[in-house]
Every structure is written in structure tokens, then in C-alpha cells.
Chain A
Amino acid sequence: MVTLSINGMVVKVEEGTTILEAAKTQNFRIPTLCHHDDLCVAGNCRVCVVEQLGAKALVAACATPASEGMQILTNSLKVRAARKHIIELLLSEHNADCTKCYKNGKCELQDLSNEFAVGDHLLLDLSNIKDYTVDRFSPSIQKDDSKCIRCQRCVRTCEQLQGVNALTVAFKGDQQRITTFEDLSMAEVICTNCGQCINRCPTGALVERTYLEEVWDVILAPDKHVVVQTAPAVRVGLGEELGFDPGNRVTGKMVAALKRLGFDSVLDTDFTADLTIMEEGTELLTRLKKALVDKDPHVALPMTTSCSPGWIKFIEHTFPEYLPNVSTCKSPQQMFGALAKTYYAQVRNLDPKDVVSVSIMPCTAKKYEANRPEMRSSGYKDVDYVLTTRELARMIRQAGVDFGKLKEDTYDSIMGASSGAAVIFGATGGVMEAALRTAYELVTGREVPYEGLNITPVRGMEGVRQASVLIEDCKEEWSFLNGVELKCAVAHGLVNARRLMDGVKSGEIEVHFIEVMACPGGCLGGGGQPIPTNEKIRKKRTEAIYAEDMSMEIRKSHENPEVIGIYRDFLGEPLGHKSHELLHTHYTQRVRY
């Protein structure tokens, strides 16, 4: 323990505690910009400088550990002068056209300049002397260097959380900026479109490509039938954008709001999440049979999940040799899109050309996924527009819907029924758990041997987790699995995905089935979710996801009545001909930069 004083108050803190954290214990908030709970210390922006009595220079509170006898002033004259200068410097370099900015009202720099009442521009405006163009090429991420304050949160996110390194610092001095390999657009580089950089950008330099106006246009067009699907994680995040604390489930309110916005049918991605389990579970069992019974040496195991489009693009770039291992199942979003313009249109007696399918996702990579050329198996673009949780909240505000006071409503049918297994797709380990609930029961005729169906070993926030389930007393047709210990691994955050795949490559990790979610915490920590994010918030959302699962009557994918219905009326059987045509896809090897 070390003892120091902060603004005259004596504090005892653990060794290694930063001045920033120590001040927090005394209820002194020191302003920060480059600091982020999820990332390593940078000490770049210098907004957090404080005075250490006896030291020549001011010290960065975020980067300086408390030491014995230190006397810190967080609001002295020197500190105030420096802090104000620093905010002014940032603003002088920043395209401060705030009222026209996508992040207006949600910008940390704006908040700080408000807090310090930065009035007249004392310094020269440098923002107009640099020739910036906005990178709008990516269908997911828009990058505007004129709003960048060089805090490098995005660079650290891309490197430390995702291990992608699509964004990096280039050049020096006045030319320094955050850019990509050879200054290519975000659409042309190794970027996985995960959007984690957006979640951590303090300003409007990195934002999602928005399709809000396009969606309003089709909603308000009389001749279009607009169906909307909502991903599992949206219902535990949306509330944060609309005045609720993290961890609130707002499923019913969200459905009610969507209906008020004018969508013709409010449906659930959970339905196709359950369908994914049927297809992917069958695919896994088929691969296992090929390996164990037919002794086929070419069967690609371990099989990995394919729900996370960030993960798909990552593996296409980084581990292309493992593409045969990726499940051929489309993600639930894309399964939904393909069915919306076939099955749904057929049942509702609609011309698929008049059906517009919109999805609400916690994700920015989904925007990219919907634009993949192979995602047109209905004969049309399967998913027309993808909006993030944040964009939906904006639509709700624009429509003047008083979200907090809405009465809960329920999803429409068909393609609106779901199970608890589908809901947990939103959390890391959820797909694995849902798959095990169904596969185990399919093979043995019994429920998974975990209390309350809660397969806790695959849950949690550990970056890479491994678990196994022993399969015994199988049904006759699955007797080849008798005594097999089904081994699985789960990773979230691409830096962990890389660790896991490196382990698979070296033989260190031997498993049958792998779940990877590109974002920390799974989809609930996705790049389209409300800002801010940190582990505490993600844990709250996780708790909400599992609470939602527990509240569901049906908790296994294969018991979803609409899933049973679609196989009976339309698809036939899992991995059947129609499934192959509509629900499965293929992947592309991509370059490594």
C-alpha cells in the first residue's frame, strides 16, 4: 500500500494504482480522452495532467502510478491553464462543425469543451489547412480524419482487443494520422468491420455507415412490405441509448416501438438462430460421423461457428487454410433474409420484389455481410438494410416515440418465435451452449446433464474457454458417438480467436467444435451497441441475456414450434436441398493486409 495526498486528502491505495484511480476513490473525476477502461494506458492526450508538488512538469494521471508521499493537485492554477490549453489545442485541430456531426451530443471532446467553457477561439484554426477526405467506402465504418484527435484508442482497440491491426499510426509531427496499410480505404484492408474502434472513438472520427434515411424511405413508401428482424443482443443494449441503465431487458418495448415506427412485420432473428442450431448441429454431427465412422481423412475438424461476420472476415484474411473448418451455415441474419423473401413471402402471399428486409443488429460487420455478393440466394438482396442498435434508438427518437412509457408487445408471426437457446446467441459461449442443448438431446434423447440446462463451463468472460461433454447411451443411429468426449472451445474478441486458432494450428488445442465471436463479450459487446462500453457494462448485458433465457418457456432450439413448422412445410430436413440453397454459403480467401 502507498499513501499519497490528493487535493489535501490523504489516500491509501494499492501499489500500482494510478493517480487517476486514486483520485476516483476520493470522488475526484479527472477528465480523460485517450484513456479507456478496456485498453492499455497511452498517456497521449494529456488532458488528465495533474500537478505533483515538487515535480518540474505536470504528470499524466492516467499513466503515473501513485507513489509514497506524493502530493497531487487535480485542479490547481497550473493544471487548469494546461488543461484548457490542451482542450483548445485539440479543438484547433478538430473539425468542430459539431451541429452537423453524427456524434453531436455524444462526443467526449464536445463534453470537455463544454465543461471547460471554451469560448472564443484563442488559437488559430488548423483544421482547414489539411486536406482530409472522408472514407465512405466501407459499408460498415465511416472514417473522418478531420475529426480525429489522435488519442489512438482505435489503434489500441484494433491491436490489443482484436489483434487485427487494420488501423495504425503513420507519419509524424503535423502530418501524423491514423490510417491503414498504404492509406487504402477501410473497405480494402484487413479490417473485419467489427466496429470496436467506433465503440471507443471519443469523437465522430469513426462512426457506423448509417442507412437510416434509406430505411425511413422504404417504411414510408406505400408499396413496400418492410419486415424487420432484431438480433438477440439488441434487446439487452437498446435501453442504454434510451435512458435505461445497463442490464435492462427491453424486448417488449422494443417490439412495440418497431411497430410504431411503421414496420409491416416485426420479427425475430432468434427464429433463425434456432434454425442455425438445427443446421449447424446437424452439420457438426455429420462431420463427426464422417470422421469417426467413415474414417474420412479429409473431413475438416474442428468445426467453427459462422455467426459472427467479423470472425468470418478475420479467418478469411488470417487463417484461410482453416476455411473448410468453418460451418457453411449462414449467420442467423442472412438465413432470415433469405427466408423473408422466399418462405415468408410465400406464406404471406407477397411478391418478393416488394418485400424489404431490414435487420437491427448489435454489429457493424453485419452491414458488410449483407452486402456480400453471395448473400442473394432468394434471388434478391437477402437483407436490404442493416441498422445498429444505436441507429434504431435514433429512429425511435426521431419518430417521437416515448420509449420509456411503451407497453410491452410481442413479435409477429411467422418467423417471430424463439427459444432461450436463441437469446443466448448474444453472449459469448451462447451458440456453443445452444448447440450442445440440442445436439446432446438429439443424440441421446436426454437433456444435457447440466442443472437448469445452464452449461456454465462455456459461459464467462475468460478470453478462451474450453469444456467437454461426455456422450453416453446414445440413440441407436448415433451409437458411434458412444463414449465420445465432445470437446469444445469458445473465444471472444479476435485477439483471443487468434490465440485459439494458433493453439489449434500447433496442436496444443484439440477440440471438435469452436465458437468464435469477434467482439469482446460476444454480440452484446458488438460494434453497433450503445457507447460507452467496458467490462462492467458488458457483464450487466450478459446477466440480462441469461435472465431472458431463463424467462423463456422454450429453451431449446429444436422445440421452437416455428422451426418445427418450417421444416415440415418448407425446408424438409436440416442440410436438405432447400437448406443448402438458402441457408448455407461459402467463403473466400483474402489477402493478409
Chain B
Amino acid sequence: MSDKHVKRVDLIFEKAECRKILEKIMDVEPDHICQEVLESDLKGRGGAGFPTGLKWRFAAQEKDPVKYVVCNADEGEPGTFKDREILDQVPEKVFCGMAVAARAIGAKMGYIYLRGEYKFLIPKLNEKLNIFHKTMDEFNLNFRIQIRLGSGAYICGEESALFESIEGKRGEPRNKPPYPTSSGLFGKPTVINNVETLVYTVMIIRLGAAHFKELGTKDSRGSKVFSVSGDTPKAGIYELELGMSVDEFVQEFGDGDTKAVQVGGASGFCVPRKRFEETIIGFEGVPTGGSMKLFNSTRSMFNVLHNYLDFFTEESCGQCTPCRVGCQQLLKGVEAVKRGEKNSRYLDELVKLAKTMKRASKCGLGQSVGNAFGSIVENFREEIIY
């Protein structure tokens, strides 16, 4: 067992002087901002991990006079609740991150797409937003932010489905390419970032890319906010340096009887105890949008898997075949195996099907159903069958 400990960080929730940030970004060329973020190696904190600076630069290079910045606050991954806390504690920093992005790419309009269940945040957000708009005016930054509310569909956290939803359409993912940086919201070049990512960009502007890069590993720079839940005495929100192993994480947060950790929510991977030590939490190992769910030996992994599949069966938008029908087949399939109506080899057929879903689905939802399915079936096969 390793004796390293997880390292707490305090960047996200630290109160920042947004005026100074605005002053700073108005002082430099927009491309300088892209460059700084690029040098920090910051990767998107929503889970997919696309380099933020690169995304901004792509959008900045587009010639269209109308561009958008969108903050993805549709925090829907089962087991994450950190964006709510960020929006509640430091909303100015989220606005400020959007302003930084807007300055970097030349956008005049931004949207926060807020998860429907977070409606209670709106009065507070609007109040702070009014003040922030006035502050931007003082710095001659021509940028406005509006809040749009989701209606409870998980799929609307997928960036292109989110755009459709803002546009007033049914929230269904689009074909890619084109990517949002060239054709996003209303068909215009758009930068869309997760709440946490935007706040990190503020800290990068404030402290410099080098400071940010001191934290984390080569593939996963900086720190990350984790939502810890499940069988843990310390459920809650923690900002931790990236690069720890699951083992180190479990030592800190586990209840002494942890048999598996679901990293990254329903669309993430299940790490069994035997792989705790070798598995790094980050882009070199198992990436996560922040959801960390611990399971102890009292939990049935069949129930865990069933729960996730049930979730996906309901939350698939239903548009593409592999995801819509595949989810149902996986769900009904494990039920049939559990009931003994199908023999255990049927699980192998389902694993192959999950692979097709990963390869052939239209968007990230269908492509990631196989993550939880594959890792749970691989590591807890007996629990599924018997």
C-alpha cells in the first residue's frame, strides 16, 4: 500500500477579484489569452478532456462576427454535484470565466445552460449577473450572459443536444463534424465549457499557466473538483490534485471495506479493488467529470449495473439505433441472465454489443454506455450471473 496522501487544493472556491481579471484580459491581445490557457494544458473538466486552449483558439480563428460562449451547467452525471456548489459559492468566477472566453474568441453573447433541478439558483445568479454586467461595462467588455434552464433530460448535457435545447428544439445530439467551434449554437462558432473549466481558466489568467502546471501529472495537469458519494464517511465536494491512484483516494475516503469505485458516474468506469493501486484517476487512467462513487461489500454489483442500465435506457435520446435499442438489450439481457433465461455466455454477446454501441453510436452517451457495462461485467461476472 502506498503511503502517499491525496492533496487538497483550493483554487476553485477561493474568492477571486474578478475586476483584476477583467482588467488583465482587456490589457492583452485575445490570442494571448488562448495561448496562456493552451500552455496550462488545461483539459475540459466535464469529462471528455478536450484541451481548452485549443478549443478557444479554433473558435477565435473563425471569421464569423457572431460567436457564442456557452457554460454547460447541466450537471446530470449521476453522482456529480460540484457544479451546483461552484455556482452557489463563486458565481462571479463562472461569469468571469465566460468573459475571459468571450474576450479570447470575440463573442458578445453567452448562455449558461442550467440543469432544471438547479432552478432555485436562478434568483441569486441573476442578481450577481446584473452586478457583473455592470462591471464588464466599466471595462468596456461588450458581453452579455443569459441563463437558460434545462428540463431534466440527461442528454442535454451533451454539447450539441444542449445547443438544440437552447434553440428551442428537441434536445438531440447533432452529427459531428461540424464541431461547435465552427458551427455551434445557432450555427455560429461557439465555445462550450463546463462550469469548473471556466473557473480554472480564471485562475490560470490570475496565477499564470506555469503555476497551474505545477499541479498534477503530464497528462492531467492541475487539480479537479470531486463529488464523493456512496459508502464513505466523508461524502462531499473536494478539490484535489490530479494524479492520485484510486488506492490513495480510497484510503482517504473509503470506509475500510471498499470493493469498487465507480469513477466518472454512469458513463464512467468501475474500478475493482484489485486494480485500485495501478489505476490513476486522470486522463492517463480513468477520466472523470468529478463523480466518485464508492461501493462496499454490502452492495450487489448486479444492482449497481442494473441501475446504470435502467438510467441509460430512459435517458438515451432515442435517436440512434445502437444507443436506443442497445441500452434496452443490455438491460433486458442482464435481467435474463440473472433469471437464468439466458446462460452466462450471453453476457459475452452483450459485451460485444456494448462494443458496437461504443463504436457506432452517434454521441458520447451511447459511446460510453459500454464503459460501466464492460468494466462491471468483466470484474464482477459472478455477481451478475448468480
Interface residues of A (CB under 8 A from B): 41, 43-47, 49, 57-58, 60, 63-65, 78, 81-82, 85-86, 89-90, 92-93, 122-124, 126, 149-150, 152, 169, 171-176
Contact = CB atoms under 8 A, between A and B. Distances in A.
Given A93-B325, A126-B329, A174-B314, A86 B360 contact: yes
B155 interface: yes
Given A92-B329, A123-B329, A171 B359 contact: no
Given A82-B359, A90-B325, A172-B316, A64 B177 contact: yes
A85 B329 CA distance: 11
B329 A150 contact: no
A89 B175 contact: no
Contacts, number: 117
Interface stretch (B8-16, B60-68, B93-101, B348-356): B348-356
A491 B225 CA distance: 58
Contact of B327 (A58, A85, A92, A173): A173
A150 B322 contact: no
B256 to A, nearest CB: 38
B360 A46 contact: yes
A78 B313 contact: no
Nearest to B342: A124
18 contacts: A44-B362, A46-B320, A57-B359, A57-B367, A85-B353, A85-B360, A89-B326, A89-B329, A90-B321, A92-B329, A123-B333, A124-B329, A124-B332, A150-B319, A169-B319, A172-B153, A174-B324, A176-B324
Q: Which of B172, B324, B327, B361 has the most CB of A within 10 A?
A: B324
Given A57-B359, A92-B329, A93-B325, A44 B314 contact: no
Contacts of A63: 175
A124 B313 CA distance: 15
Given A44-B321, A150-B324, 9 more contacts: A46-B320, A46-B361, A46-B362, A57-B361, A64-B177, A65-B177, A85-B360, A89-B322, A174-B328
B242 interface: no
A196 to B, nearest CB: 21
Given A173-B314, A173-B315, A45 B352 contact: no
B316 A85 contact: no
Interface string B165-204: 0000010100101000000000000000000000000000
B345 to A, nearest CB: 11
B318 interface: yes
A244 B325 CA distance: 39
B353 A171 contact: no
B319 A44 contact: yes
Contacts of B319: 44, 150, 152, 169, 176
Q: Which of B320, B322, B352, B360 has the most CB of A within 10 A?
A: B360
Given A122-B349, A176-B324, A60 B175 contact: yes
A128 B318 CA distance: 18
B336 interface: yes
Given A85-B322, A124-B336, A150-B318, A174 B327 contact: yes
Nearest to B311: A173
A481 B325 CA distance: 65
Contacts of A149: 321
Contacts of B353: 85, 89, 123
B318 A172 contact: yes
Contacts of B313: 173-174
A152 to B, nearest CB: 8
Contacts of B355: 81
Nearest to A67: B177
Contact of B356 (A65, A86, A93, A176): A86
Contacts of A81: 352, 355-356
Contacts of B177: 64-65
A172 B155 contact: yes
Contacts of A93: 324-325, 328
Contacts of B329: 89, 92, 123-124, 126
A171 B170 CA distance: 10
B30 to A, nearest CB: 28
Contacts of A64: 175, 177
Contacts of B57: none
A172 B356 contact: no
Nearest to B329: A123
Contacts of B333: 123-124
Contacts of A169: 170, 172, 318-319
Nearest to B356: A85
B317 interface: yes
B358 interface: yes
A123 B319 CA distance: 20
Contacts of B326: 85, 89
Contacts of B361: 46, 57
A89 B321 contact: yes
B362 A78 contact: no
B356 A45 contact: no
Given A41-B175, A173-B316, A46 B322 contact: yes
Contacts of B317: 172-173, 176
Contacts of A124: 329, 332-333, 336
A175 B349 CA distance: 24
Nearest to B333: A124
